[in-house]
Amino acid sequence: MESYLKQNFDVEPKNPTEEALKKWRSAVWLVKNPRRRFRMVADLAKRAAAEKKRKKIQEKIRIALYVQKAALQFIDGTFLKFCYKHIKFVFMSKVVQAGYDIEPEDLAYIVRSHNNKTYDFHGGLQGLARKIKVSLRDGVLSGDLSKRQQIFGCNRFVEKPQRPLWMFIWDALQDMTLIILMVCAVISVGVGIATEGWPKGMYDGLGIILCILLVVVVTAVSDYKQSLQFADLDKEKKNIIIQVTRDGTRKKVSIYDLVVGDVVHLSIGDQVPADGIFIDGYSLSIDESSLSGESEPVNVDKKRPFLLSGTKVQDGSGKMLVTSVGMKTEWGRLMVTLSEGGDDETPLQVKLNGVATVIGKIGLAFAVLTFVVLTARFIVMKLVNNDLSNWYMSDGLELLNYFAIAVTILVVAVPEGLPLAVTLSLAFAMKKLMNDRALVRHLSACETMGSATCICTDKTGTLTTNHMVVTRLWVAGEPKDIKSVKSSISEKVLTVLLQSVFLNTSSEVVKGESGKTNIIGSPTETALLEFGLLFQSNHNDISKTVKIIKVAPFNSVKKKMSVLVALPNGKLRAFCKGASEIILNVCDKIVNGDGETVELSDKQRKAITDVINNFACEALRTICLAFKDIETGSSSDEIPENGYAIIAVVGIKDPVRPGVKEAVKTCLDAGIMVRMVTGDNIHTAKAIAKECGILTPGGLAIEGPEFREKTPEQLKEIIPRLQVMARSLPLDKHKLVTFLRNEFKEVVAVTGDGTNDAPALHEADIGLAMGIAGTEVAKENADVVIMDDNFKTIVYVARWGRSVYINIQKFVQFQLTVNVVALMTNFVSACTSGSAPLTAVQLLWVNMIMDTLGALALATEPPHDGLMKRPPIGRDVNFITKIMWRNIIGQSIYQLVVLGILQYDGKNILSLNGPDSTVVLNTMIFNTFVFCQVFNEINSRDMEKINVVSGIFVSWVFVLVMVCTVTFQVIIVELLGTFASTVPLSWELWLISVVLGAISLPVGAALKCIPIESSMHIGAVKQHDGYEPLPRGPDMA
């Protein structure tokens, strides 16, 4: 079976090929209900049509941008003025009543068409701001939000409405076998009434119909609840938090709450949330490829001020005025096509479609054989009795009953619920992970994380708290105590120090709604500004006296930020800050105690290097501050690259998060190697890594530049021992991930927060983006968003990933056991006695126990600590393991022996006499069979451990399903005998049924004593050749 599955039902977890997707679809055979079975499977035809439509829209946008910009050069201004007045006269009445002076369509057209003439005609930025009644400094007023939404629209896109419950019921009714059974039931009612009279003749058929309706309703409700969970998660995925200025204060709002007139703040990696006009900013570069298909970035400034929704900020920063939202933007039209076709199916869903296909073929063969054998026996009996020429209505009813039993065997045999159990388990896991602060963007990531063998994690914010404070300072040639800085350095030194802090920053000091001072920006910038505010409470006193000429924002490649300013005396001064060694390398001067710049000697350079290393060894992030005065007469506005004077070295404390040390140990115990990849100084990185338990004796710490120079052969030698990479670039992370996956066949999870991390996140098996520090570009390329940026949350994802895989294995083991027993019992009985002990109604009930209810019980079990004490699941392991086959075969043999004994000698053993002995025995067989499944379901909670009841009450869904199954079984036997072909049983027979079912537990325990290579070792990832496992855990650090 496994070779067949690998050949036909094997797809990659990320970015599967079109060929692989088509291949498994063509291999699927005998699908009872395509509408339900493939509900969570991508529609390739619809996806291709959507892609074609999307490309057409992109082409249209691109052509429109070029054509309109060219054509508008020839439009006469007078004609434009006339047209505008005419439009205003016809359409503006509603807008004027609301207090605005421009039509929403006109406003949207300005940006959409990049129409500079219309833009200038309306008075440019200031004119548009006046017409939509907004202050560019204070933003919109909160009281105007609802009015703006009514006139200009909401920032939401047209989405498919949520499917109602009745549509899921309709889908469940599309099952071909159920339709055949309903037809049989209706015929049975008609024939039964004709032969046996009213109401006795209708009971068999009506029982089947009622049972089918019960199956349909339970199935539909389960599917409907799943769809609601996915809808909530999908909404959360699209919810982006935007920084805006409203009521004069800077605040964060949902992208859904954005309105026309909002002043939005943009920085590297952000998604432009709506169409708008550039207000101000520095070096703002926009990637419009998602909208127009053009890969070349566009520079946005006051000459080209138009910003389109859905594009990404590639570099720089700025502010924009929102002019159109939602479906009035081109992005809104494009978004409608993005959800067409659905998401790719996961590898487990595909694999279980393959299992269902194999079992379905076997089931069909048994169903046909059962019908043939029953029919043949019936005809032979008529032949023996010389009655072959005489056919009665009751004979037709008997043959119809045989056909119904054969179809019902097919219902039970085709495990339609297998692929859907994966969806159920993933939906449950995704909802629980959302509560644990992890947003799963791609379904397959839940599965893949269970196989992760390596986590490449950032340091800042993931292993540490991301709450930074300046604790150490070296300034003017010597270390200073933070509290006494003001009194221990000259006024001139303090001035240039505070200038470097307040002018060279991408963060902003704002007043909150309560009047309290808040700092909006990165944690490092926040720490520096908080430090500066200790000595200068009003930061505006410094910033308002200078004019900022140019800004080079920080990025992870340069590892520095620079700014060029014009001082009050007219001179130009450049400030630079960033990674200490990098800034020190561009300095050839130093600010002395009097505030004068003097030459930097080699001895001083060495002393500063020692200061940097000492700070770093204390696990501090070190930042160097420097400046350079530009010579008078220089007309260039370029920021200099060298010749700076070093002002200070700052040591910033970022404590390790509580619980990270234990989380790292959990990963190491689970066979998951944790590697730190950070842009920080190597001494800082090593200190933090040792504190977390990542860096152990014998482990290797290396810097990015050294890593880049290694040959592939050298990398093969060092990577197995590599635990820390410092001063790394995003491309180093990408190179490491690629090497681990291709050369060592590792399953790699990697964290990232910056725009430049996107390639590594995309390349990794599981990309983990940071929810707080992460940019929208990083999140878009990730599979999971860690909402709290916490390493512990990554471990939760790994636990749930393993849980999903194990839960599906439990369910498959349980379902295959039921399949084998139900098929063999009815087939052998049909061959030997000419009748099936389990009727169509009874088999439908069994089908619901093992399908919908079984999936609910086993596929939603929460993870336990034992999951993280075994090696990861290998890439190419057999899904149905030897341990599962042992349990399936063992339990099947026990159940078949018990049911066989009852079938052939049950009357003697149970002392059953009288005219109703046969129906009592058949009821007893049915009851015993069901209780065998109930206790086998408990057995399936753990495939290897004998204690299967441990933690059973933690899974309330499992307990509820068990209670409901037993309760309804009692009702069927005791009260619904007319429809289910059962009779009430005595308490002795009930006890025997329960005991025979309960013996499954000791049988299961005995089976688990049979030695088979544990799944903890089968397919587990072995250590790389050529090195011994490192000592692991915080205690070895």
Active site residues: 458
Contact status, residue 807 vs residue 423, Cβ threshold 8 Å:
no
Residues 6+ apart with CB under 8 A from 507: 519, 520, 521, 522, 525, 526, 529
- 3-class DSSP state of 775: coil
Question: How many helices and strands (H and E) does the chain possess?
Answer: 41, 26
- The tokens 């690259």 sit on which residue? 641
Q: In terms of Cα–Cα distance, which of 25, 21, 1, 22 is closest to 11?
A: 21
Tell me the sheet residues that pair with 778. none
Residues 6+ apart with CB under 8 A from 97: none
- The tokens 């010597």 sit on which residue? 478
Residues 6+ apart with CB under 8 A from 288: 294, 297, 298, 308, 311
For 716, half-sphere exposure in the C-beta direction (CA atoms, 13 angstrom radius) is 9
- 3-class DSSP state of 707: helix
What distance in Å separates the CA atoms of residue 851 and residue 424, rounded to the nearest whole number? Answer: 12
Query: Can you list the pairs that 161-168 forms with residues at least 24 positions away whose Cβ atoms lie under 8 Å?
Result: 162/227, 162/228, 162/231, 163/224, 163/227, 165/220, 165/221, 165/224, 168/220, 168/221, 168/223, 168/224, 168/227
Q: Are strands 508-511 and 517-520 parallel, antiparallel or unpaired?
A: antiparallel
What distance in Å separates the CA atoms of residue 875 and residue 1018, rounded to the nearest whole number? Answer: 11
N- to C-terminal Cα separation, the chain: 46
What distance in Å separates the CA atoms of residue 799 and residue 805, rounded to the nearest whole number? Answer: 10
Q: How far out from the chain centre does Cα 906 lie? A: 54
Q: What is each CA distance from 252 to 51, 246, 256, in whole angstroms? A: 34, 10, 12
Burial annotation 534-545 (CB, 10 A radius, 16+ → b, else e): eebeebeebbee
Burial annotation 214-244 (CB, 10 A radius, 16+ → b, else e): ebbebbbebbbebbebbeebeeeeeebebbb
Q: What is each CA distance from 30 to 248, 355, 361, 875, in whole angstroms? A: 64, 12, 7, 29
Position 491: which residue type?
E
Q: In terms of Cα–Cα distance, which of 774, 763, 748, 694 is closest to 455?
A: 748
